[in-house]
Structure 1
């Protein structure tokens, strides 16, 4: 499957529809560029540790792609595996957007019996987690094995 680098806004499918190997769940601005965010399916979920306990990795609450690259550069095997899929681990903000898309019925295959890693670090020892049963976000030690749901972002041309 060919993953498009960009798409015209007028050609985007509706939220909840298949696109770029997953399900389109939101549109998000990063600086002056807008992107379509696509959650890959449950069959692409990976499990692993966030990274090394005590290692401070520069991450932020909004840009999961930048966070995942920083995680991989710091030695995270989980992040490296997600990047091979031409995807990233969603940030704390992007994970909340996934929860909203779940509530609207756009994402229907997020597990409710497990916590998912976000790519946002809480501290050198902890990372933010997302619970898709109730939408809770919390933090826990980075050395615990958790799920990660790969996400892609495709540039929207205006």
Structure 2
């Protein structure tokens, strides 16, 4: 998108036609204020975080893109991150596994868009053995064994 193109987003929680999913609002990122788009659906199946026993530089609580790049670029297998990166919608292929902060943003502003009967992996690693996840029924933020299989909801972002 060039500087002359100004997009008018829908209301938060509505599908943004042509942008790959549900509009989540604006968040601050290293590159500036960005629109965040949550995929309209989960990636099919449940996926392990992966990389049990290995520390990866995927520790940001706010930048899921940076975390995902670290996970996918690491020698170990990280199925949740790989599933998120493989997601495409409306011609967009820049999806990633959200950070725990991005998932919490989804719980705050789009709670009805997520399944409440299971947990969602974030890209934020807690330790060599654990990573953070979010439960949408009551907004439960916690961490668990990287081998646990959880749901994956990809996100993408672009500068405002």
TM-score if structure 2 supplies the norm length?
Answer: 0.83
Which of the residues 72, 78, 81 maps onto 2:80? 78
User: Using the alignment, how far apart are the partners of 1:11 and 1:126 within structure 2?
Assistant: 39
Question: 1:117: which partner in 2?
Answer: 121
The Cα of 1:10 is off from its aligned counterpart by: 5.7
Q: Name stretches of at least 5 consecutive residues in structure 2 with no aligned partner.
A: 88-92
Hey, which bits of structure 1, 4+ residues long, moved more than 4 A? 4-10
Structure 1 vs Structure 2 CA RMSD? 2.1
Match 1:145 to one of 144, 149, 156: 149
Could you tell me whether the CA contact under 8 Å between 1:46 and 1:78 is conserved in 2? no
Question: Is there any run of 5+ residues in structure 1 with no aligned partner, and where?
Answer: none
Q: Which residue of 2 aligns with 1:44?
A: 43
As a proportion of its length, which structure holds more strand?
1
Q: Give the alignment of 1:99-110 within 5 angstroms.
A: 99-102=107-110, 107-110=111-114
- Asked if structure 1 preserves the Cα contact closer than 8 Å seen for 2:31 and 2:159, the reply is no
The 1:144/1:43 distance shift into structure 2, 3 A limit, reads closer
Q: CA deviation at 1:113?
A: 0.7
CA distance in 2, matches of 1:115, 1:145: 9
Paired residue secondary structure (2:133): strand
- SS of the residue aligned with 2:102? helix
TM-score computed with the length of structure 1 as normaliser: 0.84
Matched residue of 1:11: which SS?
Answer: coil
What secondary structure, in the 3-state scheme, does the structure 1 residue paired with 2:34 have?
strand
Between the two proteins, the alignment pairs up a number of residues equal to 149
Change (3 A) 1:110 1:124: same
Per mean C-alpha deviation after superposition, the further-off stretch among 147-156 and 117-126 is: 147-156
1:21 Cα deviation from its structure 2 partner: 1.6
Distance 2:148 2:4 in 1: 38
Using the TM superposition, name which of 40-49 and 26-35 deviates more.
40-49
Deviation at 1:52, TM superposition (A): 1.4
